[in-house]
């Protein structure tokens, strides 16, 4: 999986007015699919998030945590799910990328 600087990610998330998060989701999902063979490709992933009005995004964050755990990262899927449910899903991409960087 591609190493990304977390500080740069935060700045891009803030200053691209929600364009970079879309790009990150697309790329990260493609990388997860390539490594694990599970889930949709990046484009279908984005379409599913739009069609389900974000409900799929909540499931995906949990599933992505499980897929990262299969790659050798600590299993933080429950943390991603809880953050998603209480409105803290903004932090999940940074936590996921941090885990992916450590693999």
- Tens of pLDDT, residues 63-91: 999 999 999 999 999 999 999 999 888 89
Q: Which pLDDT band holds residue 103 (cuts at 50, 70, 90)?
A: confident
Q: Is residue 96 part of a domain?
A: yes
Q: Is residue 48 part of a domain?
A: yes
Residue 39: per-residue pLDDT: 87
Q: Is residue 56 part of a domain?
A: yes
Q: Is residue 1 part of a domain?
A: no
Q: Is residue 84 part of a domain?
A: yes
Coarse DSSP helix, strand, coil percentages of the chain, rounded to the nearest 5 percent? 75, 0, 25
Closest CA to 33 of 47, 44, 49, 22: 44
Range of the domain at 91: 6-102
Long-range contacts of 52-58 (CB under 8 A, 24+ apart): 57/84, 57/89, 58/84, 58/85, 58/89
pTM of the model: 0.89
Q: Is residue 20 part of a domain?
A: yes
Domain count, the chain: 1
Closest CA to 83 of 103, 65, 101: 65
Residue range 16-55, pLDDT digits in tens: 988 999 999 999 999 999 999 998 888 999 999 999 998 9
To which residue do tokens 């409900």 refer?
Answer: 55
CA of residue 35 relative to chain centroid, distance? 14
């Amino acid at each position: 999986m591609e190493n990304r600087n977390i500080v740069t990610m935060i700045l891009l998330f803030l200053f691209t007015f929600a364009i970079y998060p879309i790009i990150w989701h697309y790329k990260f999902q493609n990388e997860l699919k390539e490594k694990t063979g599970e889930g949709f490709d990046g484009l279908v992933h984005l379409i599913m998030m739009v069609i389900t009005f974000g409900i799929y995004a909540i499931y995906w964050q949990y599933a992505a945590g499980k897929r990262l755990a299969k790659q050798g990262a600590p299993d933080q899927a429950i943390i991603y799910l809880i953050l998603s449910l209480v409105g803290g899903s903004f932090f999940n991409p940074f936590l996921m990328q941090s885990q992916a960087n450590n693999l």
